[in-house]
Structure 1
């Protein structure tokens, strides 16, 4: 199996790039975001690779980072999500943005991806809610803007609330999601105690 390709961009198309590695051209399917960030033909490129093997072909799927490739694998585990839809999601949302959308149950952000309807977006948020923060740091999710308004630096109440829920036995991913949703519901500068109470309500749903 090929796990990584390092070479020169030979040519690109709507959803693919040919990577020249020592004179051998590898045809790699990529998301729109990954293609946009590639160097021009002749430039150096390194791609993390997911190898898909079928009865009649071996297909290489390329990603800018290992993190993006890991998200691709998670997405493929969701019912109704195939390669095309997963690449569409990752072409619309960067991994950290996808993690935040799942943590906040933001189906609208996910359904903005081509080929993703309301039902598929709902399945993605539901099936990955306990896995999403594994692809991004806790700080990334808690410090990210909410509805376009920047979050305060190092929001101690939110971090303390997550820690409290983890100490109660909830997985960190689930606790992070609950506190993020609680902060959105409460708005403004909520205290740790308020976030914990609202977070528990979110967890009970």
Structure 2
């Protein structure tokens, strides 16, 4: 296994033994189930598909219902694929204690919060044109010049300008697991993770034994 699926519960802070207060993220890991196993001989590559959280069968189409029936599972809300060869079987339940322990470093991948159409000050941390002096009017958050005039007579692709912000795949690396709650399948990570509350995350351990 190279990773598991988790759900962003929210943020809190905890005190370490030395009295330091640390901001933390709470993530619920699984329980996850093996929904599909792919092999090189049949599919051209090896991987497993993992599912999490129960989904109402009324909101699941017939092809997906048949997909889950092959693994003798009920429909799941979130599915992710992890490449690699694993000694697992369809329908196997994977718990948090099977992979993680306190002190592990993990990479967390998710979709960042969408913030709509934003200007360059919020989107790229521009400082704006400057103070409202020398006759400037409403220019505090303006981008300023975006290119030369006669040469090259155009704006280069990729220029940092206003546009849609957030709602992208983001990976936060090397987050430390401070605590594990086996009874509730919670892990507490040092720092923040991408996405809104109740959004799904891919949790990957840095080194798998």
- For the superposition of Structure 1 and Structure 2, which TM-score range results when normalised by the shorter chain? under 0.3
Structure having the larger proportion of residues in strand: 2
Task: Choose 1 or 2 for highest CA Rg.
Answer: 2
Relative contact order (C-alpha < 8 Å, sep 6+): which is higher?
A: 2
